[in-house]
C-alpha cells in the first residue's frame, strides 16, 4: 500500500519520494503511470476527485500529473503524459494548491451540509458527487421542500461562521461503533480515519479536509431534483460559490438591461412579455382570419359562375401556406359552391385544393385524387380527402401555370 501523506495534513503541497513501480496504463491511452513509495496526491475516491500537479525528477525535468487513481490493493497510481521515470528515481511532488483548496472546501462543506440535513430533518445522505463546477448529495427521501433547503443551508453556514475546529482522528472499528458516526464505512478495516467537526459531525472519511469550518467559506444550495434513489441536492462551497454567484449575477444583469429594469423585476417583466406575446399572436390570427375572409369574398365576387359553381385560382407570393389554406377554406365555406386552387410560393412552396362540401352536382369529386394527379408529373407530393388536399411542389415549378391548367381541366 502507498503511504498517504494527505491523511495527516491536507496542507502538505510538496513532498519528496521515490518511484517504486511503473503501473500498466491502459493500452489505448498514450500515457504512463507510476506508483510512489509515499504521496500527497489524493486519488479519486469517496466522491472526491483527484489532485493534479507535477513530479520533478533529479535533473529538474517536470512531469505533469494529470490524473490520480487508487488500485483495489491500496496503491496510488499517478498518470503522466510522458514516459515514466524508472523505478528507484527520486522525485519531488508538488500538488496544485488551488485545486486542492477547492476540493477541501467542497468536501468539508458536504460533511457539514449532510450533518445539517440529519440534525434538522433526519434526512440521511446516501452518496456524494463532486463534479468540475458543482457538487451534489443524494438523500434517501422522496421529496424536499424549499423551506428545508433554506433551513439546511442556514444551519450549515452557521457552523461555517462559528469556525469550529475540524480534526482528524484514528480509532478502531469497535471504538467507532460506540462513537455513533453519521455513517459507518462498509469496508472491513480495523482502523478508521474519522473527520470531526467539533460538536457537530463525526464521520469516517479518507478525504482531504479543512482544519476549521471557517475555511469552507460558505455553502450555497442550488437545484434539487428527484433521482432513482431519492432526492439530489446540488451545492457549491467557498470559491465555487463566489464564482457561480458572480456568473448568475452577470446573466441576471444582462437580462435586466434587456428589459431596462432592476434585477428583482426580471421575472415580472418576462411574465408581462409572455402575456403581451400571447395577446399579439391572437390579434394577428384574428386579423389574418378577417383578411382571408374579405379576400375570399372579393375573389368569389369577381369570378363568374359556370355550371353552378365558381373556380377561384390564386397564387400568394407574400403569404405562407397557412394563409393559403385559410383562404381556400373561406372560399369554399360560403353559400356559393366553389373550388379553390391556391398556392403559396414562399418557402416551403405548396398547393391547396379545396371544394365546397357536397359541391355542385358535376364537381370533379375528389380533391385528394386531383392533387395527386397534378403533382405526380412534376415530382411533387401531397394528398388529402375528398374536399380538402394539400401538397408541396419542388422548386422551379411555375405554380401559377400549374393551377391554371388544373382549372382549365376541371372547368371544361
Minimum CB–partner distance for residue 41 and Zn ion (Å): 17
Minimum CB–partner distance for residue 152 and Zn ion (Å): 17
CA angle 285, 288, 355 (to 5 degrees): 110
Cβ(194)–Cβ(170) under 8 Å? yes
Name the residue nearer to Zn ion (CB basis): 197 or 205: 205
CA-nearest of 138, 136, 141, 149 to 109 is 136
Name the residue nearer to Zn ion (CB basis): 116 or 295: 116
Q: How many residues does the chain have?
A: 412
Name the residue nearer to Zn ion (CB basis): 85 or 207: 207
Q: In the set 205, 237, 241, 300, which binds Zn ion (CB under 5 A)? A: 205
Name the residue nearer to Zn ion (CB basis): 207 or 217: 207
Minimum CB–partner distance for residue 156 and Zn ion (Å): 15
Q: In the set 207, 238, 349, 384, which binds Zn ion (CB under 5 A)? A: 207
* Residue nearest Zn ion (C-beta atom): 205
Name the residue nearer to Zn ion (CB basis): 107 or 310: 107
CA-nearest of 228, 241, 148, 162 to 198 is 162
**Binding-residue total with Zn ion (CB under 5 A):** 2
Region at 217 (left for phi over 0; alpha for psi -120 to 50; beta for the rest):
left
Residue whose C-alpha cell is 451545492: 235
CA angle 235, 240, 243 (to 5 degrees): 120
Near Zn ion by CB under 5 A, which window of 62-70, 198-206, 296-304, 368-376? 198-206
Minimum CB–partner distance for residue 231 and Zn ion (Å): 19
Minimum CB–partner distance for residue 132 and Zn ion (Å): 19
Cβ neighbors of 281 (< 8 A, separation 6 or more) are none
Name the residue nearer to Zn ion (CB basis): 207 or 391: 207
Q: Would you state the torsion angle of the CA atoms of residues 151, 152, 157, 159, taken in this order, to the nearest 10 degrees?
A: 110
Minimum CB–partner distance for residue 277 and Zn ion (Å): 49
Q: Give the interface with Zn ion as residue ranges (CB under 5 A).
A: 205, 207
Amino acid at each position: 500500500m502507498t503511504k498517504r501523506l494527505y491523511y495527516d495534513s491536507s496542507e502538505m503541497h510538496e513532498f519528496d519520494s521515490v518511484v517504486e513501480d511503473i503501473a500498466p496504463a491502459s493500452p489505448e491511452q498514450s500515457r504512463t503511470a507510476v506508483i510512489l513509495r509515499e504521496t500527497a496526491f489524493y486519488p479519486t475516491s469517496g466522491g472526491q476527485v483527484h489532485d493534479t500537479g507535477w513530479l520533478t525528477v533529479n535533473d529538474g525535468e517536470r512531469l505533469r500529473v494529470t490524473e490520480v487513481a487508487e488500485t483495489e490493493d491500496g496503491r496510488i497510481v499517478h498518470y503522466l503524459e510522458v514516459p515514466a521515470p524508472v523505478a528507484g528515481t527520486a522525485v519531488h511532488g508538488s500538488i496544485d494548491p488551488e485545486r486542492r483548496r477547492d476540493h477541501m472546501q467542497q468536501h468539508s462543506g458536504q460533511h457539514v451540509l449532510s450533518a445539517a440535513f440529519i440534525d434538522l430533518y433526519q434526512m440521511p445522505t446516501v452518496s456524494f458527487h463532486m463534479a468540475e463546477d458543482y457538487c451534489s448529495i443524494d438523500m434517501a427521501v422522496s421529496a424536499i421542500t424549499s423551506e428545508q433547503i433554506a433551513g439546511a443551508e442556514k444551519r450549515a453556514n452557521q457552523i461555517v461562521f462559528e469556525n469550529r475546529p475540524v480534526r482528524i482522528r484514528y480509532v478502531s472499528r469497535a471504538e467507532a461503533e460506540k462513537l455513533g458516526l453519521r455513517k459507518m464505512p462498509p469496508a472491513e478495516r480495523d482502523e478508521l480515519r474519522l473527520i470531526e467537526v467539533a460538536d457537530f459531525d463525526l464521520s469516517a472519511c479518507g478525504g482531504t479536509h479543512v482544519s476549521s469550518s471557517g475555511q469552507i467559506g460558505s455553502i450555497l444550495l442550488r437545484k434539487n431534483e428527484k433521482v432513482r434513489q431519492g432526492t439530489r441536492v446540488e451545492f457549491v462551497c467557498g470559491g465555487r460559490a463566489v464564482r457561480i454567484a458572480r456568473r448568475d449575477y452577470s446573466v441576471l444583469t444582462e437580462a435586466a438591461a434587456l428589459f431596462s429594469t432592476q434585477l428583482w423585476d426580471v421575472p415580472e417583466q418576462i411574465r408581462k412579455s409572455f402575456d403581451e406575446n400571447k395577446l399579439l399572436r391572437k390579434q394577428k390570427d384574428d386579423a389574418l382570419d378577417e383578411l382571408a375572409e374579405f379576400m375570399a369574398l372579393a375573389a368569389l365576387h369577381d369570378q363568374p359562375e359556370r355550371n353552378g359553381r365558381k373556380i377561384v385560382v390564386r397564387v400568394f407570393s407574400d403569404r405562407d401556406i397557412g394563409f393559403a389554406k385559410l383562404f381556400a377554406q373561406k372560399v369554399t365555406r360560403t353559400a356559393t359552391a366553389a373550388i379553390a386552387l391556391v398556392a403559396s410560393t414562399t418557402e416551403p412552396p405548396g398547393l391547396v385544393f379545396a371544394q365546397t362540401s357536397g359541391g355542385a352536382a358535376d364537381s370533379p369529386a375528389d380533391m385528394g385524387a386531383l392533387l395527386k394527379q397534378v403533382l405526380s408529373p412534376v415530382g411533387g407530393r401531397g394528398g388529402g380527402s375528398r374536399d380538402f388536399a394539400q401538397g408541396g411542389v419542388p422548386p422551379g415549378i411555375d405554380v401559377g401555370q400549374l393551377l391554371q391548367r388544373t382549372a382549365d381541366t376541371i372547368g371544361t
